[in-house]
A and B are shown apart, each in its own frame.
Chain A
Amino acid sequence: MSRRRVTVLLAAATMAIAAGLFVALPAEKPDAVSQPTPAEPTQAPAGEREAMFYEKFPDGRVQCHICPRTCVIMPGQRGFCRNRENRDGTLYSVVYGKPCTLSIEPIEKAPFNHFLPGQMRLCVATVGCNLTCKYCQNWQISQKPLEEVRYQEIAPADLVAQAKKSGIPIICFTFSEPITFYEYMYDTAKLAHEAGIKTAMVSNGYINPEPLKKLLTVMDAVKIDLKGFTPEFYRDVTGGTLDPVLETLKVVHQSGRHLEIVNLVVPTQNDDPATIRKMCQWIKDNIGVEHAIHFTRFFPMYRMTRLPATPVSTLEGAAKIAREVGLQYVYIGNVPGHEYESTFCPECGKRLIYRVGLNVLENKLQDGKCPYCGHKIPGVWSLDEAAADKVSQGSEGSGSGAGVPPRVRASTCRPWS
């Protein structure tokens, strides 16, 4: 083969790759000439569901508005999260009713420390995520397309029926990123509420305000990963941006839904005490001091395998900063047996809920209050209370909770000895 021929072939290959990238990569902005057409959501059985919150363009492209990436997707292509596909100008959720993970776990694992402690939850996840965290614990599903995993088909109604029949009081959307299976989560949560089952979401908070507000009408509790507090950390380690997550925290707070925050402290990446102080100050100034915040220990994971585990003293330092700033419910996670796994009364300092790992060994709360000083501890402490809250808020899908036996009682049980 002559040099000239090789040169021509190389040039052609380069142009082909460039053209492919141009077609495949989502554009930042939609075509200004196109007139967006809001799509109406429709109900569908498992495996088929038109997406919510997107726009159609006359040239066949669509723009997804679920998350801040606002992917503009060409026909036949999928968005960044790999879960939303443009089929002939209509955006579909390809993972609707196709969970790859269903498991039953304690609510403390989310972690939720102020939401129905001691209860079990039915965890649901499909593939997909709209971030690319280098330390993702669930990368086996969060960073894969549907075709590369095993999954099963369960329609929202069937999922709710199974939870109801099994007496599991909470359906929790978790593990990967629930935002990327928004429609499945929304439809399931709506049916769950109608059946008197509580709903919770464990999310990175990388979602646009409008979809979030709609989702919160059917969601009882939200845990948000505030992964760091610098734009650089979000850009370099998670592939996202910080501001939308902060906006999410504000929206959830304003909605009155139960909110807890997790900050995974990664050595050398987001463990700067000054930054942690800024983060805590922002939380205090914008969403108040009563939301639980969890500083959790990092262990080498996924692509971040050349870092040490987070020193416990670093977590304790972060917790100290948070308390100094004024946050009232500060926890340390992934350190089984640590004192700060437990809940303490911010008023009198007494231990109210004694936890070791995922175990609730003692719960002294009485009607959500400290038995020593009467201070009201924010949170959802019993299914009855949750049901009453629902009724008083008049949210859609509120159920009576009848038929779901409360499994948590104020208790002074001692651990085995």
Chain B
Amino acid sequence: MKEQSNIPTSKVERAGKFVTTGLKVGTNYIKHYTRKLMDPSTTKEELHQDNAADIYDTLSNLKGSALKVAQMLSMDKGMLPKAYTEKFAMSQYSAPPLSGPLVVNTFVKTLGKSPSQLFDQFDLQASNAASIGQVHKATKNGKKLAVKIQYPGVANSVKSDLRMVKPFAIRIVGMNEVDMDKYFDEIESKLLEETDYALELRRSMDLSRECAHIPNLKFPGYYPELSSDRIITMDWLDGQHLKEFLLTNPSQEVRDKIGQALWDFYQFQVHSLKQVHADPHPGNFLMRPDGTIGIFDFGCVKEIPEDFYENYFLLVDKEVLKDEKRRHQIYTNLEMIHPSDTPKEVEFFSGLFQHMIDLLTLPFTLDNFDFGNEVYFNEIYAYMDELYNMKEIRDSKVARGSRHSLYINRTYFGLYSILSDLKANVITGPARIQELMDARKTA
């Protein structure tokens, strides 16, 4: 991997980066319309590809939170034109690494010793780059370790980054600014949490202990004595990322096993622990041919407030939904319907949401669900597309959906999209959750 020669950190420099992108995107549009003049058959696809490439280049140069936002956007596949998604999906794996001396310096500063003093072997070349840090391979006492190191100044730049990425997010997602504020607050607070490695270490240890009883999950061991607020040391996990794993043509049985493990992992967290690993992008999972899955990176954990939990999961209950008044109440609680809405708008949006909810919660209502069912996902994407293009939604000036739903939706979205790539057949009925909770008690 080529080492990045410079990271723009000062605000002005970052702003400069965004301005250049803005200009480039502008030129891409001009190019597009000129091409279209010459050849009317030109599609928007190419334009989106050009734009995505330029925006991605900018974001990956900035690292940190901007990259994180790119990842968030890439999660909601349906929300974005396809070309953006593919380019952004790359950001889940690769961003250029930082220099060796800086890595050493981070160790000396936060742990008082250099990596060569702490480990038997330490690879100064990063083996993986994450959005706010990079991962190095190390060994100690014959054990392979993964050492995650945070880039300096990340926490400082979260705020200014978000402010600058906002116009792009608005442009891409097509939401209005008022809408975005509420969500950006949520994103900001989560991102700041992610830069706190001490918190992440604690959570990683807690959550992996709580979930240890779920079959086929593998969590790394953590080493607090080799970790600091900028460094986390854990066992090295073997396995492949989703895409490479699928290339090995795993059997249906293995896919089902992994799919089930993932489903159980998320359901147990949501329903029992009321906090969830809210970063289900493929880079955080390592799949193995024996049907087990390694899970790490608890940097982004969403705690689910009780009242939100209740309202959110009442939506799954068919009986409750039949009661018109109660349903309306739930929508209001979840801020999907705004007090200022006219009766006509209420009816319009209720209809939309109900259809979306019916679609998205389908797996919950069945005992078994085949995530390989493409018809189902195509229907979701088609519906998302329809929503995305709907004039009423784009013109709506109010925020719809509680801020908590952002990460919960994202979590389920990510989960669904991984399961769908796996084409896994999963036991999804409520009895399964109960089983897991009982198993925890006896464990």
Partners in one complex: no
The interface of chain B, by Cβ under 8 A from chain A, is none
